[in-house]
Amino acid sequence: MAIEGLTEEQIQAAAESVQVHKFGGSSLADAFCYRRVARIVTEYAGASDVVVVSAAGDTTNRILAILTASKQAGDTATILLDQLESFQQGLISELLSGELEQQLLALSKEDFARFRRFVAGEETITGDAELLSYGELWSARLLAALLRKQGTRAEHIDARDFLRAEDAPEPIIQEPESRAELLRRVAPFPGTRFIVTGFIARGLNNESLTLGRNGSDYSATLVGSLLNVKQVTIWKDVAGVYSADPRKIERVVSLPSLDWAEAEELARLGSPVLHPRTFQPVNRERMVISVRSSLKVENQQTRIGQFEHTEPRGKVFTSLSEVVLFKVELNDKALVDKLNELDLEPLFAWTEPENHQQYLVFHQNHLEYISRWLEQIDVGNTVTQIRGYSMVALVGNRIQETDQYTTFKLQLGEQKVRRFGLGENGNSAIAILEQQLDSRLLNRLHSQLFNYRRSLGVLVLGRGNIGTAWLELFKQQRDRINQMMDVRVIGIANSKRLWLDYSGVELSDWTSNFDRLARPYVLTELLRELPNAPYDELVILDLTDAKPVAQLYPSLFANGLHIISANKRAGSAEESLYREIRTIQHEYKREWLYNTTVGAGLPLNYAINDLRGQGDEIRSISGIFSGTMSWLFENFNAETKFSDLVAEAKQRGYSEPDPREDLSCQDLVRKLLILAREIGLNLDWEDINVNSLVPEHLQNISAEQFMQRLNELDEPMDAMLQEAAKDGKVPRLLASFSVTDEKRVKAQIGIEYIPEGDMLANLIPGENIFVIYTDWYSEMPLVISGPGAGKHVTAGGVQSDLNQLLARLSAAT
C-alpha cells in the first residue's frame, strides 16, 4: 500500500528492522524500575525499535479515584491530586537533571493545572478518557527523556496522534489511516527509539478514547501489526508462561513456546499473563510474541507464534477458583438465540437435551456484565444463576490425543465433576467442579500431568582452548545428553565478561554472539543471582587456571552449584582451604568432579575410586604425570638442545605461558596432591620432596628475561643426559607417592634415570603414564597411559565428568 510522503523502501525497512516492546505499569512503578527499563531498552531493543508503555505503577487507579472524588463534596479530590502530582514530579526530579528536568517539570505543572481546574469546576472535560490518558503520556514522556539523558536517541509519541478509532465498547481501529500516520512518524527516522503511549486512541470526533484494561498489551500488538513487524516482546514481572500459575502451584516449569491456538485458548480460560484481545491484531503467519521478565532479563522467555513443532501435548494446567453457571431453559428459543449473539464467549457450554436445558459457564469477573445484560432483556425465570463451582483445565495442542488427557480424566474421578469435555477448538480439556479448589488438589493434578525431565543449567567459566573445544563437543552430543536431563548452557564467561541467558545461549555462532552480548561481571555478585535460575540443578564448568575462582568453591557449593573442574588450584590448595571446600561440599550435598585435573581425559580418578569402592587399597602411584614434560624428555637427546625444545613447547602451546611453571614441577606438585587426597591421604605442599629443573638464579626474574636466558638450562641438562647414558639409561621426570603399612606417606618429584628399554622411557611424546600398585595389584601393577594434554582429550574428560554428574543426579531422584 502506497503512503504519501514515504517510499516503499522506508516502509519495508520499518517492517524488517523494527520490533515492538511493551512495559506495563508494574515495570515502571518507581525510579529504580524506570532505570531498569531504560537499561533493557538500551541493551535488548534495537536502535529503531518502538516501546509501548503503560501508566506508571497505580497511576490509572489514582486518576480514577480523583474522578470519583471530584463528583463528591469535600476536598478528597484535591488531596489525591496533590499526592499524584508529588509522585509524578518526584519521578522527574529523581531521574532527570538540568534542562531536561526543567522541561518535563514545566509540562507536568501545565497538566496538573488543568487537572485542578477540572476538580474546581473551572474547566469542563468530557469523558474520563481525556484525563486517564495522562498516565500513559507521563510515562512515555519521562522514559524518552531518561533515555536521552543517557545518550540514546529517543522521542515519545502520543498514540492519539496516529491511532484513529470509532468509539465502541471495544473501539474499532481505523487501520489504513492509523497505519499511514504511524509509519510517517516512525519510518523516516531509523536509529531513534520511539516511546509510544499504550491504552489510548483518538476518536472520530477528535475525542480521547481508552482501549480498556489490558489495553497496553493490545496496543503493543496493534502497533506491531500496523508496522508489520516480526516480533513484539511483552515485558512482565514473570519469565514467560508457565505450566501452571506459580502463585498456586509449587513446582512449575516455564514454557519455551506456545502456538497461537494454545495461547489463545489459555487466554480465553483466564490466564493472568495473557489477555484475549492481545492476539486480535496479530498477523499469525509473520509475527511472534515473546513474553519475558523485566525483573530477571536473562530468564527463559516464552515465544508465541506459528510453529511447525505441533505434536499433541498438554502444556499448561490452569484453574479458576470460582466460575458462574447459567442454566437456560431451551424452550425459550428467542432467549437462546439472543444468548448465541452475546458478545462474550463462555468458558464452557453444554446442552442436556433430556432436561431441555443449556449450561453456560463464565468467569467470575464477567458476572456483573452478564447480569446487567440479562436484566435488560428481561429473562424472567428462564435463566438461573448457580454459584459454588470451580474450573480446572489442561491446555495443549490436540489434547485428546495425549496420554495426559487420560491421566487428567482419571485423576478427576474422585472429585465432584459436574461436566468434563473438550474446548470447542480441541486444544483444551475442561472440567467444571462442584467444589472448592485447594492447593493440595491443584499440586497433585499438576504433578500427575507434567512429568518433566529435570533440568540442568551449565555455566562455562573459561572460553579458551578447552572451553571452545568442549562447547563444540557439547553441541555435537546435545541430543544424546538431553535424553537424560534437559541440559542447557546458560552462560559463557572469561575473566572479565559474561554472556548469560537463562533460556540457553545459542551455540551455533557463540563466539560472535559473545563479543556482541557479553557484559562485564563480578563472580561474587553473580553468585547472588544464579540460585534463582529456572533450573532444577546448576553446574559450573571451571575451565580456568584461576586461583581466585578456586577460592570461591565453598561459596559456589553453598549457593547450590555443582562443580566440574579442569582447574587444579582447588584440589591442590593448601590443606586448610581444601578441607573447607570438602566440608562445605558435603554439607550442601553438592557434586565435585575433576578427572581432567590429572591425566586430561584419562579415566584415572574413576579407576582409583572404583578400586577403593571394591575394597582395594592403593599403595603407590608413580609415573610421568605431565604431558609437557613427557614431550620435552621424549624429544631430548644428544643432538637436541633442551632450551630449543622448551621454546618450541611454548610456541606450540604445550607448556604454560611461563614454562617455569612446568620446569619447576609446580604443576606436578598440584597433580600429586590431587591424587594423594583422592585416596584420603593428608598431604600438603611441604610434604613433597621436589627437585626443580629451574636453576636458582633463573627463578625470580621475569618470564621475558627467563625466555631470553633459556640457553643457561643446556649445560646442566646435557650433563644429566650424559650421566644417564653411562649406564644405558635416559633421564625422565617422575612423580610418585607411596603409603607404608603405618600410613606414612613418602612423596617426591624429580629426575630419575630409566633403562632405555623400560616403558617409562619409551612413551609417545606428550603421553602420560600412571603405574598403580595396590593390595590386589601388588606383583603386576595397573598401568593407565595415554595423551596427558590437549584441548580435545581434555574437553572429552570434561564431558565424561558431565555424564557422571547426570547419572548421579538421575539416580538421586
Q: How many CB atoms lie within 10 A of CB 336?
A: 15
Q: Which residue has the cell 507434567?
A: 450
How many degrees, rounded to 5, is the angle at CA 523 between CA 669 and CA 517? Answer: 120
Taking the C-alpha atoms of residue 674 and residue 237, their distance in angstroms, rounded to an integer, is 46
- What separation, in Å, do the N-terminal and C-terminal C-alpha atoms of the chain show? 59
- Which residue, among 352, 345, 343, 349, has the nearest Cα to 325 in the 3D structure? 349
What are the respective helix, strand and coil percentages of the chain, to the nearest 5? 45, 25, 35
813, three cell numbers = 531422584
How many residues belong to the chain?
A: 813
How many degrees, rounded to 5, is the angle at CA 268 between CA 298 and CA 356? Answer: 160
The H or E element containing residue 487 is strand 486-493
How many degrees, rounded to 5, is the angle at CA 43 between CA 39 and CA 48? Answer: 110
Taking the C-alpha atoms of residue 117 and residue 115, their distance in angstroms, rounded to an integer, is 5
- Which residue, among 269, 215, 212, 262, has the nearest Cα to 245 in the 3D structure? 269
Taking the C-alpha atoms of residue 37 and residue 41, their distance in angstroms, rounded to an integer, is 6
The 3 state secondary structure assigned to 200-268 is: EEEECCCCEEECCCCHHHHHHHHHHHHHCCCEEEEEECCCCCECCCCCCCCCCCECCEEEHHHHHHHHH
- Which residue, among 507, 132, 112, 53, has the nearest Cα to 294 in the 3D structure? 53
Taking the C-alpha atoms of residue 192 and residue 41, their distance in angstroms, rounded to an integer, is 12
Residue type, 119: V
Give the burial class of 661: count Cβ atoms within 10 A of its Cβ; 0-12 exposed, 13-18 middle, 19 or more buried.
middle
333, three cell numbers = 428459543
State residue 340 phi and psi, 5-degree precision.
-65, -25
Give the burial class of 811: count Cβ atoms within 10 A of its Cβ; 0-12 exposed, 13-18 middle, 19 or more buried.
exposed
| Catalytic residue list contains 315 | no
Catalytic residue among 671, 726, 729, 791: 671
Taking the C-alpha atoms of residue 526 and residue 499, their distance in angstroms, rounded to an integer, is 12
How many degrees, rounded to 5, is the angle at CA 626 between CA 622 and CA 627? Answer: 130
What residues are annotated to the active site?
671
